[in-house]
């Protein structure tokens, strides 16, 4: 039968397996019954095992990740993911559990969740956490449902507005809207803080709460957080903390102490569990004691006999995820927290902040514009608007050229209030030489912008995939492989 070669590799008649008729004397291999055998050939490429191995090994090397180089993706925290955590999460006693196993047989795993919740309460200054939400946005949505349930229980259901600063992560307004709230935007002032006058003007008895990221997505600590908390509370609203990226605050300052009532954090950013490609993640939601009864069911608690049991909070908003959430992500984060300890977490935050400030200083000194020019936290935002005006080189061109230099580009065109924004977060896991090398790459690119802008428009020049036509890719995506 003439078979097509469906991939470019290989040739007619090549095989990567061998199942000969066995002619040895003394034993006979059992034959597979004819009724179980395929009646027609499979339409597969004909390749040797060596070709297959090289193909996939080469493919794997086209990937860029935190294990291959610096990945300064602001807001997303691409820090090193310790391999010990992977090893532990992969053990049979975790992976071969079934969520419907009798509860007395999963006490160890429940204890892990119970302890992780305590650790998160300590780190963030909250009174209880739900580990169910599977992502940051999912945590926000859960938190919004809790705020809604709280106001409704108080007979205060006219509170249908959530205030959100104009530099917020896009998931904030999306989550609040999905929970049924209307969104009112609050402006940022010239120093990068919430504009207090604008906030005051927006506060009334329809406000359910304020969603805030602190440090903000500009990488700046909100200097008026105490006043903001007081104003929102006086107006009858609650404070929601977006702690997706809490890499600057661990061990230093706690949202619970800043006045926040509800929050989420991303284990897949702050607590070193891997992310990318859409997950899996975990976005635990924490609350102050007065909101504990609204948390999602089920909760892990300890009974009088010191056994771990599952409970349903009195005013629960219900389940937000099947079973126990993304359990192995919880295992990895728990391992990370235990191996770091309180001092280690604090040290991580301090190093993240120093690395970001050092990179920012090097770039500023080299001629890049920092629009909110004050000490940053774990990340900072450049504006390359001036470079665009002067040399016709966009932030996108700079980012693409960084790929040639061996870096993953930073977060781009976000927050929206900064034109030609590039948001860098080197993270604590970069050594000082790595930070300096990244700064040098950025300064070399700035030089190229002056001398050879066309090259930047064409970049990346050395990557396996060259400059893409984003619009065409979005409008006419090619979703199935066809042999060229
Ligand atoms: C990443 C991020 C989110 C959303 O988290 P996901 O897990 O991607 O849903 C929300 N807010 C901020 C500030 C973030 O950085």
Atom of ligand 1 nearest to the CA of 281: 7
Q: 10 Å Cβ neighbour count for 373? A: 12
Burial of 458 (0-12, 13-18, 19+ CB in 10 A): middle
Which has the closest alpha carbon to 141: 178, 168, 185? 178
**Does any ligand 1 atom lie closer than 6 A to the CB of residue 273?**
no
135 C-alpha vs ligand 1 centroid, how far in Å? 8
Query: The tokens 């992502």 sit on which residue?
Result: 135
What confidence tens digit (pLDDT) does each residue in 42-86 have? 778 888 999 889 888 888 888 889 999 999 999 999 999 999 999
Q: Tell me which residue has its CA closest to atom 6 in ligand 1.
A: 136
From 134, 216, 241, 245, give the residue whose CB has the most ligand 1 atoms within 8 Å, as the site to mutate: 245
From 244, 249, 264, 267, give the residue whose CB has the most ligand 1 atoms within 8 Å, as the site to mutate: 244
Burial of 76 (0-12, 13-18, 19+ CB in 10 A): buried
Atom of ligand 1 nearest to the CA of 283: 7
Atom of ligand 1 nearest to the CA of 213: 13
Atom of ligand 1 nearest to the CA of 140: 10
Atom of ligand 1 nearest to the CA of 268: 7
Give pLDDT, residue 31: 78
Residue 188's DSSP bridge partners are 194
Q: Tell me which residue has its CA closest to atom 15 in ligand 1.
A: 75
Distance CA 483, CA 283 (A): 41
Q: Say how far residue 134 (Cα) sits from the centre of its chain.
A: 11
**Does any ligand 1 atom lie closer than 6 A to the CB of residue 349?**
no
Q: Tell me which residue has its CA closest to atom 14 in ligand 1.
A: 244
Which has the closest alpha carbon to 183: 200, 162, 153? 162
Give pLDDT, residue 63: 84
| DSSP for 349-383, written as a single string | HHHHHHHHHHHHHHHHHTT-B-SS-S--SS-EEEE
Give pLDDT, residue 279: 67
136 C-alpha vs ligand 1 centroid, how far in Å? 5
Give pLDDT, residue 278: 62
What confidence tens digit (pLDDT) does each residue in 205-230 have? 999 999 999 999 999 999 999 999 99
**Does any ligand 1 atom lie closer than 6 A to the CB of residue 248?**
no
Burial of 224 (0-12, 13-18, 19+ CB in 10 A): middle
Which has the closest alpha carbon to 368: 351, 354, 388? 388
From 72, 75, 77, 132, give the residue whose CB has the most ligand 1 atoms within 8 Å, as the site to mutate: 75
Distance CA 127, CA 310 (A): 18
330 C-alpha vs ligand 1 centroid, how far in Å? 17
From 77, 169, 275, give the residue whose CB has the most ligand 1 atoms within 8 Å, as the site to mutate: 169
From 73, 136, 415, give the residue whose CB has the most ligand 1 atoms within 8 Å, as the site to mutate: 136
Q: Tell me which residue has its CA closest to atom 5 in ligand 1.
A: 136
**Does any ligand 1 atom lie closer than 6 A to the CB of residue 136?**
yes
145 C-alpha vs ligand 1 centroid, how far in Å? 18
Which has the closest alpha carbon to 333: 126, 98, 86? 86
pTM of structure: 0.92
The separation between the first and the last C-alpha atoms of the chain, rounded to the nearest angstrom, is 23
Vertex 362 angle, CA 356 and 367, to 5° = 125
139 C-alpha vs ligand 1 centroid, how far in Å? 9
**Does any ligand 1 atom lie closer than 6 A to the CB of residue 137?**
yes
Which has the closest alpha carbon to 290: 233, 217, 341? 233
**Does any ligand 1 atom lie closer than 6 A to the CB of residue 264?**
no
Give pLDDT, residue 15: 84
Distance CA 406, CA 334 (A): 32
Q: At what angle do helices 432-451 and 395-404 cross, to 10 degrees?
A: 120
Give pLDDT, residue 60: 85
> Which run of H or of E encompasses 218?
none
Q: Tell me which residue has its CA closest to atom 8 in ligand 1.
A: 136
Give pLDDT, residue 1: 36
Distance CA 445, CA 453 (A): 9
From 73, 266, 282, give the residue whose CB has the most ligand 1 atoms within 8 Å, as the site to mutate: 266
119 C-alpha vs ligand 1 centroid, how far in Å? 21
266 C-alpha vs ligand 1 centroid, how far in Å? 7
> At 340, phi and psi to the nearest 5?
-85, -45
**Quick check: 322 and 274 in contact, CB under 8 A?**
no
Q: 10 Å Cβ neighbour count for 402? A: 22
**Quick check: 333 and 246 in contact, CB under 8 A?**
no
Burial of 146 (0-12, 13-18, 19+ CB in 10 A): buried
Give pLDDT, residue 2: 41
Vertex 55 angle, CA 51 and 58, to 5° = 135
pLDDT tens per residue, the chain (484 residues)?
A: 344 444 677 888 888 887 777 777 887 777 788 899 889 887 788 889 998 898 888 888 888 899 999 999 999 999 999 999 999 999 999 999 998 999 999 999 999 999 999 999 999 999 999 999 999 999 999 999 999 999 999 999 999 999 999 999 999 999 999 999 999 999 999 999 999 999 999 999 999 999 999 999 999 999 999 999 999 999 999 999 999 999 999 999 999 999 999 999 999 999 999 987 666 899 999 999 999 999 999 999 999 999 999 999 999 999 999 999 999 999 999 999 999 999 999 999 999 999 999 999 999 999 999 999 999 999 999 999 999 999 999 999 999 999 999 999 999 999 999 999 999 999 999 999 999 999 999 999 999 999 999 999 999 999 988 998 889 989 999 888 776 6
Give pLDDT, residue 62: 86
Positive or negative, the Cα torsion across 147, 149, 150, 151? positive
Which has the closest alpha carbon to 281: 232, 230, 245? 245
Distance CA 183, CA 161 (A): 6
Residue 182's DSSP bridge partners are 161
Distance CA 389, CA 471 (A): 23
């Amino acid at each position: 039968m003439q078979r097509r070669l469906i991939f470019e590799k290989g040739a007619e008649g090549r095989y990567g397996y061998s199942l000969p008729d066995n002619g040895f004397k003394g034993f006979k291999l059992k034959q597979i019954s004819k009724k179980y055998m395929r009646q027609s050939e499979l339409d597969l490429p004909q390749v040797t095992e060596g070709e297959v191995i090289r193909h996939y090994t080469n493919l794997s090397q086209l990937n860029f990740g935190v294990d291959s180089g610096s990945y300064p993706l602001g807001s997303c925290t691409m820090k090193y993911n310790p391999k010990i955590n992977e090893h532990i999460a992969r053990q049979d006693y975790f992976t071969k559990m079934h969520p419907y196993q009798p509860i007395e047989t999963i006490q160890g795993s429940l204890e892990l969740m119970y302890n992780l919740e305590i650790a998160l309460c300590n780190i963030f200054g909250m009174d209880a956490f739900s580990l169910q939400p599977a992502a940051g946005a999912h945590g926000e949505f859960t938190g919004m449902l809790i705020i809604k349930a709280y106001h409704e229980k108080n007979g205060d259901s006219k509170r249908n507005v959530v205030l959100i600063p104009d530099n917020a992560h896009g998931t904030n307004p999306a989550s609040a809207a999905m929970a049924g709230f209307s969104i009112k935007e609050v402006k940022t002032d010239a120093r990068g803080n919430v504009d207090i006058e604008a906030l005051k003007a927006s506060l009334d008895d329809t406000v359910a709460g304020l969603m805030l990221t602190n440090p903000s997505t500009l990488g700046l600590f909100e200097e008026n957080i105490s006043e903001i908390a007081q104003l929102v509370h006086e107006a009858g609203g609650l404070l929601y903390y977006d702690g997706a990226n809490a890499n600057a605050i661990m061990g230093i300052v706690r949202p619970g102490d800043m006045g926040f009532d509800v929050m989420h954090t991303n284990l897949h950013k702050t607590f070193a569990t891997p992310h990318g490609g859409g997950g899996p993640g975990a976005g635990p939601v924490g609350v102050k004691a007065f909101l504990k009864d609204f948390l999602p069911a089920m909760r892990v608690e300890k009974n009088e006999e010191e056994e771990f049991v599952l409970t349903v909070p009195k005013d629960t908003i219900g389940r937000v995820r099947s079973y126990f959430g993304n359990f192995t992500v919880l295992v990895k984060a728990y391992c990370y927290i235990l191996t770091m300890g309180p001092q280690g977490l604090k040290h991580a935050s301090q190093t993240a902040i120093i690395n970001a400030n050092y990179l920012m200083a090097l770039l500023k000194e080299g001629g890049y514009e920092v629009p909110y020019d004050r000490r940053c936290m774990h990340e900072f935002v450049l504006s390359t608007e001036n470079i665009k005006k002067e040399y016709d080189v966009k932030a996108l061109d700079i980012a693409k050229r960084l790929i040639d230099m061996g870096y993953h580009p930073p977060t781009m065109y976000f927050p929206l209030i900064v034109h030609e924004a590039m948001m860098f977060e080197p993270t604590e896991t970069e050594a000082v030489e790595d930070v300096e090398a990244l700064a040098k790459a950025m300064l070399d690119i700035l030089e190229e912008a002056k001398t050879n802008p066309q090259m930047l428009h064409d970049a990346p020049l050395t990557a396996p995939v060259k400059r893409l036509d984003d619009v065409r890719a979005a409008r006419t995506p090619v979703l199935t492989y066809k042999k060229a």
